[in-house]
Amino acid sequence: MGLAKILSSAVVGLEAEPVVVEVDISSGLPGLLVVGLPDKAVEESKERVRSAIRHSHVQLPPRKITINLAPADLRKEGPSYDLPIATGILKASGQVDFNEKENLFIGELSLDGSLRHVSGVLSTVLMAKKRGIKNIFLPTVNAKEAALIESMTIYPVNELKEIIFHFRSEKMIAPQPPTKVEMADSAEEILPNDMAYVAGQEHAKRALEIAAAGGHNIAMIGPPGSGKTMLAKALPTILPEMNLDEILETTKVYSVLGLLNEAKPLMTHRPYRSPHHTASAVSIVGGGNWPRPGEISLAHRGVLFLDELAEFPRSVLEVLRQPLEDGIVNISRAAGNVTFPAQFMLVASYNPCPCGYLNDPVKNCICSVGQIKNYQRKISGPLIDRIDLHIEVPRLKYEKLTSEVVATPSHQIRERVQRARDIQNTRFDDLPIRTNAEMGTREIKIFCQLDEKGRDLMQMAVNQMHLSARSYTRVLKLARTIADLAGEENIASENLAEALQYRPKAEIVLNDQTLNPAQ
């Protein structure tokens, strides 16, 4: 009979909370009882632990075993408590001995005692480091991910019996070597989805370069087959390399969802997410009974591409408004609030009408005026207002499609983008932002000053284009990025004039064919 207190963790949102697995062995009818708000997976751990201990050639005490997951008011989910429960039983029964305060355990057990992959390891290791816990025992498949965090001793475990041998000093577990952070390869070669493969559309490529340089949102409108999707897929190839902080931020999101590659558990490439238009609001933003990150968090520090924007339910599009403005998403539940990062570039594409050929110079539009208006109303004004660049992607002519001239490859564009980002990194060195798109009102007043000619141009634009306060600030941020690409210290009137070109038109003019009485 005895008592053991084993350190473990619970992942809430993206953060890990400490959990103490208390194991009490007392006289009474033999059995295992788990308390402390466990979910079904945790309750089922009793059978996995019982079988794993038997196959590890140690004894499960024939006594009453009570397991409490403290704090009792924090809901526990998932199979990661198998290993701490099993270790706690062995410790309480005197079959192994160790310092409980120095070691943390997480891992799912198989019936034969081997360990399986668990999610949220990176969050757990960061929490352990913050609390001064040095030693972490976890499944071998998670060891590389855990070893990303410096000054931590990670013990990779294949089977439960290895822990028994380790604490009996019969066969010690070798610590996992630190995982080296290898940045993404930026070799000067033409890659799949390279800009060199995109024929024509120089205006759109220029807009994508500006968007990449400042982290701006962009919308492309044009007929089917004009190259909108190809341009969106090529955007990640011109984005700058991720720094270490961005890598860890992104990796943490994918770790919680268990989406990391076991061989290379590090997100060194900027994510690119392209959900289908049938996706629900929860899958896009995140949520659920146990809140999980959605597509916008999976696209953190990368690209979220919404193809056929007007086909998404309006209720789904409207939930994007707050994340686009704040760079985070708050999931509120009765049990509490969870915050996920959502600093992504929105790339949207859509057609001007249901058939896609409104005002097309070649193909007639077959939509009625009412159909066109209803289609365009699916995208609300406030959402449009949060997109910095609006460009038209017209039908390509035969000469462009068959041209043998090789377009500028992505690595050359990326070099220009990287120079602009370096300027922003220096500018925002002492601020909690990284790109021009993240600037708030205070930063805009400091870094987006206009000369007299620029102020006159902006005043005329506000009056004639009826810019809202949000549109006004977004034009200034866009002009700042254009100036950075040009290597200019101050915003010139030419930079401002180009930024104003990317604002959406007040309305789409219907041509004569749309007003055909036969429709």
pLDDT of 43 higher than 60: yes
pLDDT of 380 higher than 70: yes
Flag the least confident range among 58-67, 180-189, 286-295. 180-189
CB of 247 within 8 A of CB of 180? no
pLDDT, position 188: 56
pLDDT, position 270: 93
Percent of the chain with pLDDT over 70: 94
pLDDT, position 509: 38
Percent of the chain with pLDDT over 90: 73
- The three state secondary structure string of 321-348 is HHHHHHCEEEEEECCEEEEEECCCEEEE
The number of CA neighbours under 13 Å toward the Cβ of 101 is 2
DSSP helix/strand/coil, 66:
strand
Distance CA 262, CA 502 (A): 43
pLDDT digits (tens, 9 = 90+) for 112-159: 999 999 999 999 999 999 999 989 999 999 999 999 998 999 999 999
Distance CA 84, CA 74 (A): 17
pLDDT of 514 higher than 50: no
Sign of CA dihedral 288, 292, 295, 296: positive
pLDDT, position 395: 86
pLDDT of 290 higher than 50: yes
DSSP-assigned beta bridge partners for residue 22: 5, 68
- Cis preceding-peptide flag for 71 (omega within 30 of 0): yes
Distance CA 141, CA 268 (A): 19
CB of 272 within 8 A of CB of 236? yes
pLDDT of 51 higher than 80: yes
Burial of 419 (0-12, 13-18, 19+ CB in 10 A): middle
How far does CA 82 lie from the centroid of its chain? Answer: 29
Read off the tokens for 35.
């308390």
Mean pLDDT of 378-393: 92
Flag the least confident range among 173-187, 241-255, 259-273. 173-187
Question: Helix 202-214 vs helix 410-427: angle between axes, to the nearest 10 degrees?
Answer: 30
pLDDT of 191 higher than 80: no
pLDDT of 433 higher than 50: yes
Domains parsed from the chain with CATH numbers = 2-167 (3.30.230.10), 195-393+406-501 (3.40.50.300)
The number of CA neighbours under 13 Å toward the Cβ of 312 is 27
pLDDT, position 289: 81
pLDDT of 336 higher than 80: no
Mean pLDDT of 391-400: 84
Total residue count of the chain as it appears in this document:
519
Residue type for position 501: Q
pLDDT, position 1: 66
**Which one is predicted more confidently, 515 or 241?**
241
pLDDT, position 515: 37
Q: What is the DSSP letter of 114?
A: B
pLDDT digits (tens, 9 = 90+) for 204-226: 999 999 999 999 999 999 999 88
Mean pLDDT estimate for the chain: 90
Q: What is the DSSP letter of 363?
A: S
Q: What is the DSSP letter of 491?
A: B
Distance CA 136, CA 121 (A): 10
